[in-house]
Amino acid sequence: MAEVIPFRGLLYDPEKVDASSVVAPPYDIVTPELREELYRRSPYNIIRVDYGRDEEGDDEDNNRYTRASRFLGEWMEKGILRQDERPSFYCYQINYRAGGNERVLRGLMGVVRIEELGSGCIRPHEVTYSKPKSDRLNIIRFCRANISPIFSLYSSRERVASSILEEVSGDRPLLEAGDCDGFVHRLWRIGDEDDIRRIKAEFHDREIFIADGHHRYETALEFRNEMRARGMLRTGDEPFNYVLMFLANMEDDGLTLLPTHRMVNVDDPGRFREALGSYFEINPLNIGMDEEGRGVIEAIEENGCLLGMLLRGDDRVYCLRPRRPLEEINTHPALRGLGVTILHDLIFKKIIGKDDYEYEMEMARVIREVRDGSYNVAFFLAPTRVEDVRSVALAGRRMPPKSTFFYPKLLTGMVIYKF
């Protein structure tokens, strides 16, 4: 099934740079302000490669993609980045906080043989957009590297790789970096031949579920196909046939999923409320609403709400429960009962009749935007469950965009897969 193999990681030399100053969050959550801060933090920050800024006078021969390639080459020449001599796996661990608790996310860094989605064991679960994919494709074309990993999941109750990772993480790490939230990211090398053999064998009969990084996978697939079309395929083991992944075991206790909420403007709030009432019981939750929205998600889950709703001019949060089986949603059973599917396919498409909505994770901002009048309705979702991700992926279906937010985010620059 899945072919997961070790690789010669390209790593920052901690004797030449401070790791915390050269790593960066994933490109898709980097704001323009944060990008400028990362530029100032170090002349070797990976943001210059993974998500460089456009500059005045850019043209076909000099642009952020050509600069990314140049930076990568120069840093390798200077020894800022060094490539390991032998193929290895890597243990990547994040010590973080969620829900007031200290947690540990630990996973394997390896490269995985690329396959057409839907034809084998690599399973997507979310819809993607085309624009980010073209940007990511240019990064691969110019840099000949996977700069940041795809966050993926697998299931193994035997926990062979998990046990190896636990053991390795007791040693001194190769690299240690702090992120913007104060969480600590560490990396270890796994070079023992017996460990490598056991890890490869464990993945032989596993399904791999893409958790975060669908764009990166699809662009790696497109680049592989480009290279094959150019006649570059000789043995099937060329580096472009593989993609960098962080692989976390769903049987370990380290995964956290957070919800992403939606805000929208409806043309006639009264008529909307009436139309909504024909499908849902709409009852206020017995909670106090503060500016931070504390306790809202917990109340939604505890009361068995499919969705929570906030209306402009009304500080109460409403619980939406279907009055009957929602047969109007013509989709696969794995998707039909999910709050995010019902929100998009029934409420947005059929009741409101528009897809002009905004995503937001921060509860305080959702509440502020509705109270200030930027939007007149907000919908709160409970976190998607890992089991639902698996069910949807195995069914060959995809959730709407931003149905899942795996937390915390992996840092870019901890280890690079250079072709």
Task: Report pLDDT digits (tens) over 53-103.
Answer: 999 999 999 999 999 999 999 999 999 999 999 999 999 999 999 988 999
Full-model pTM: 0.92
Q: Which residues of 283-307 are buried (b: 16+ CB within 10 A; e: fewer)?
A: eebebebeeebebbbebbeeeebbb
Mean pLDDT value of segment 27-39: 95
Residue 132's pLDDT is what?
Answer: 63
Closest to 71 measured CA to CA, from 15, 19, 12, 31: 12
Helix (H, G, I), strand (E, B) or coil at 300: helix
Residue 129's pLDDT is what?
Answer: 67
Residue 349's pLDDT is what?
Answer: 92
* CA dihedral over 42, 141, 120, 3, signed as positive or negative: negative
Q: Are the CB atoms for 283 and 316 separated by under 8 Å?
A: no
Tell me the two tokens of residue 227.
């290279």
Evaluate if residue 23 carries a pLDDT over 80: yes
Task: Report pLDDT digits (tens) over 285-339.
Answer: 988 777 777 889 999 999 989 999 999 999 899 999 998 877 777 788 888 889 9
Tell me the two tokens of residue 118.
């839907």
Task: For the chain, state the CA radius of gyration.
Answer: 23
Q: Please give the Cα distance from 404 to 125 (Å, whole number).
A: 9
Evaluate if residue 187 carries a pLDDT over 70: yes
Residue 294's pLDDT is what?
Answer: 82
Helix (H, G, I), strand (E, B) or coil at 329: coil
Instruction: Compute, in degrees rounded to 10, the torsion defined by CA atoms 162, 165, 166, 168.
Output: 160
Mean pLDDT value of segment 134-159: 96
Residue of 209 and 326 predicted with greater confidence: 209
* CA dihedral over 383, 386, 391, 397, signed as positive or negative: positive
Residue 174's pLDDT is what?
Answer: 97
- Residue 392, phi then psi, degrees to nearest 5: -65, -45
Residue 286's pLDDT is what?
Answer: 87
Q: Is 13 exposed, middle or buried (0-12, 13-18, 19+ CB in 10 A)?
A: middle
Tell me the two tokens of residue 182.
């104060």
Strands 208-212, 122-123: pairing kind: parallel
Q: Is 372 exposed, middle or buried (0-12, 13-18, 19+ CB in 10 A)?
A: exposed
Residue 330's pLDDT is what?
Answer: 77
Q: What is the DSSP string of 359-418?
A: EE--HHHHHHHHHHTS-SEEEE-PPPPHHHHHHHHHTT--BPTTS-EEESPPPBTSSEEE
Evaluate if residue 130 carries a pLDDT over 70: no
What is the set of domains in the chain, with CATH numbers? 4-255+407-418 (no CATH), 260-382 (3.30.1760)
- Does an H or E element contain 189, and which? strand 184-190
